[in-house]
């Protein structure tokens, strides 16, 4: 297991310049926004506006803090998301825009190169034991949490070895990435 503390992340601008993102992990590591196979990040949405377009990429958006947002994705209509909503998959090449419902929002973005990778995000709350079954499994704490003997602070991430047995306690996001 590899701990990726939230405090170690460096902010960078969105692809369209409209906000700020903190990369958690990407494959290959250090790849730019147009060449990754998959990318996991947290973004601060401070104002309404368009989302960056990522041709050939599938996205999963999960609101993790804030009052919520209304996301309009071309071809899918408007969806209201808050920190209890299920993660929302949508095509990264579809124009999308957000309206905020009462202030800034933080969200987790999983992006995978369509046809090469597929990804899922699942909310977890409480105590659960499982085996990491994906090629890449990442846990992101939404509040202080424990995974096996490790303590995580809010937004810390943990990259887990395949087939590792995990005992989790707290509010976490479970992210799985596998070859398509």
Confidence at 10, pLDDT banded by 50, 70, 90: very high
Q: Which two tokens stand for residue 117?
A: 């990778």
Evaluate the CA torsion angle 109, 112, 114, 117 in order and state its sign: negative
Supply the pLDDT for residue 32: 81
Tokens of 19: 């906000």
CA–CA distance, 98 with 1 (Å, rounded to integer): 35
Please answer whether residues 82 and 67 qualify as being in contact, where contact means their C-beta atoms are separated by less than 8 angstroms: yes
pLDDT value at 178 more than 90: yes
pLDDT digits (tens, 9 = 90+) for 78-123: 999 999 999 999 999 999 999 998 899 999 999 999 999 999 999 9
Residue 8 phi, psi dihedral angles, 5° rounding: -90, -5
Confidence grade of residue 34 (pLDDT, cut at 50, 70, 90): confident
Q: Yes or no: say if 88 and 70 are a contact pair by the CB < 8 Å rule.
A: no
- The confidence band for 30, taking pLDDT boundaries of 50, 70 and 90, is confident
Grade residue 59 by pLDDT with cuts at 50, 70 and 90: very high
* Nearest Cα to Cα of residue 25 among 41, 8, 5: 41
- CATH code of 10-113, in short, is 2.60.120.10
Rounded CA separation 64/49 (Å): 19
pLDDT in tens, 144-171: 999 999 999 999 999 999 999 999 999 9
Would you call 7 helix, strand, or coil by DSSP?
Answer: helix
pLDDT band at 18 (very low <50, low <70, confident <90, very high): confident
CATH superfamily of 117-179: Jelly Rolls (2.60.120.10)
Cβ-proximal residues to 169 (8 Å cutoff; 6+ apart), any chain: 126, 127, 145, 146, 147
Residues spanned by CATH 2.60.120.10 within the chain? 10-113, 117-179
Q: What is the mean pLDDT of the chain?
A: 95
121-147 pLDDT per residue, tens = 999 999 999 999 999 999 999 999 999
Q: What is the rounded CA–CA span in Å between residue 92 and residue 15?
A: 12
Q: Can you give the pTM of this predicted structure?
A: 0.95
pLDDT score of 64: 98
Strand duo 165-179 + 136-141: pairing? antiparallel
pLDDT at 14 over 90: no
């Amino acid at each position: 297991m590899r701990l990726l503390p939230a405090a170690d992340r460096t902010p960078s601008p969105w692809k369209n310049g409209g906000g700020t993102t903190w990369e958690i992990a990407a494959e290959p590591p250090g790849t730019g926004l147009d060449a990754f196979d998959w990318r996991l990040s947290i973004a601060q949405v401070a104002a309404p506006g368009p989302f960056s377009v990522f041709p050939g990429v599938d996205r999963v958006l999960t609101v993790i803090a804030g009052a919520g947002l209304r996301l309009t994705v071309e071809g899918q209509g408007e969806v209201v998301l808050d920190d209890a909503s299920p993660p929302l998959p949508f095509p990264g090449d579809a124009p999308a825009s957000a309206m905020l419902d009462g202030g800034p929002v933080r969200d987790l973005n999983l992006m995978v190169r369509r046809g090469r990778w597929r990804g899922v995000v699942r909310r977890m709350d409480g105590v659960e034991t499982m085996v990491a079954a994906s090629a890449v499994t990442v846990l992101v704490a939404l509040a202080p949490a424990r995974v096996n003997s490790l303590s995580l602070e809010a937004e810390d991430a943990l990259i887990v070895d395949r087939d590792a047995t995990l005992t989790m306690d707290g509010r976490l996001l479970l992210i799985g990435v596998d070859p398509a």
